[in-house]
Amino acid sequence: MAESSRSKPLTRENVQKAHELIKQYVHLTPVLTCTTIDSVASTPRSPEALKGTQWEGQTPAKPKFRFFFKCENYQKIGAFKARGAFHALTQLSDEELARGVVTHSSGNHAQALALAARTKGITAHIVMPTISTPSKIAGTKGYGANVLFSGSTSEEREAVVVDVIKKTGAILVPPYDHPDIILGQGTMALELEQQAKDLLAMSHISVNRDQKQTLDAVIAPLGGGGMLSGVATALQGTGIRVFGAEPSFEGANDGQLGLAAGKRIPSVKTLTIADGLRTPVGEIPWIVISDKSKVKGVYSVTEEHIKAAMKLVLERMKVFVEPSAVVGLAVCMFDEDFRRIAEREGGEGGWNMGVVLSGGNTTVEAIGKLFQTSTAQAERAEGVVGKDGEKVAENVAG
């Protein structure tokens, strides 16, 4: 890939330029609202639901949310990654493109680069972990890419990439750790900002004509950090707060842990159900994410929290998403530290909250398997549904 020194600086203006370059190749994905989910997330959790957590014995937070869901699951290849992949290829010379491209990815960037390469008429070599979701492997092959397999860690993936480059001379297009990728991913935030403004101008969305007619905050999933750092770059100077969301399982919350330790964690090995977020934060995204003026904080949630949020989106919004996509919503619903910030800073009017639904690359079979073990018990423990399968407001609220 082009050397970072050749890339444009990470500024809002350059995200806007990236958007002009790629909008012919990507979808303008919809922004949806859901009053049911607003109500669920805006209701305080019960003291019982906080038992056994770090918030046990504390008064539950009382935030008010109006959510604006940026549905990147409707993006080409089913995820936001198409934005960064297409932008990266626009920055390569004809000579570089002729050599073909290579990357490593668990699935979404793999499919994105495969599609972008096919669109440009060039070869793509994609290194995928053997544990990648079968539908993502099939999708990548379906776009005509040469798929090779590796172990699940970033080190194992990168070793195969090095071998491919030696043999073919292909140009590396990394999944997240490059300015060209970051600028491309940030284009979704420009769209979300304007789409939310348009929706808030409609009287049936705004419960109070005097309330702020723009977003107050945006939360996005954090894996390698290309999307979160892109969103933060795009919204720089707008006054919109930006937050990151991670799974906590087996140290997948390396961004949160790294911020607490004051240094980036370079390696992660986790089998969280949010498979798109199993990678460590990249070096370049870390520079943005660790800057408090750009990203206000990173929060994490359990596997059961992710399942509960996913169930709400599937059943209440009728939107098909993968686990990684709902981690931001899960933070808004279940992380009391984050909810207290929203309560304090949102005040009586609450927050207009942008939530990135990053992708939908999963299958009915995978979702069924995800929920088949002790589903009812887990849901009742989280206070999301009652015995009859319907939401019980008192339980969600406390």
Helix axes 108-120, 81-90, angle to 10 degrees: 40
- Six-digit token string for 109: 């960037």
E strands within the chain?
31-32, 65-71, 101-104, 124-129, 146-150, 171-172, 217-221, 241-247, 297-301, 351-357
Which residue type sits at 174? P
Name the maximum alpha-carbon separation found in the chain.
63
Task: Provide the CB-side half-sphere exposure for 31 (13 A, CA).
Answer: 24
Nearest to 357 by CA among 118, 79, 119: 79
Q: 283-322 burial string, b = 16+ CB within 10 Å, else e?
A: ebbbebbbeeebbbbbbbbbbbbbbbbbbbbeeebebbbb
CA-to-CA dists, residue 334 to 127, 276, 329, angstroms: 35, 21, 9
* Paired residues of 356 in beta bridges: 70
Helix axes 375-382, 303-312, angle to 10 degrees: 90
Nearest to 3 by CA among 118, 98, 88: 88
81 is catalytic: yes
| Whether 176 contacts 112, CB under 8 Å | no
206 is catalytic: no
The single residue of 81, 136, 294, 311 carrying the catalytic annotation is 81
Nearest to 223 by CA among 172, 261, 173, 270: 270
- Six-digit token string for 373: 């073990």
DSSP three-state, residue 247: strand
205: which DSSP letter? T
The single residue of 7, 106, 150, 300 carrying the catalytic annotation is 106
| Whether 235 contacts 70, CB under 8 Å | no
8: which DSSP letter? P
Which residue type sits at 146? N
| Whether 86 contacts 79, CB under 8 Å | no
Active site residues: 81, 106
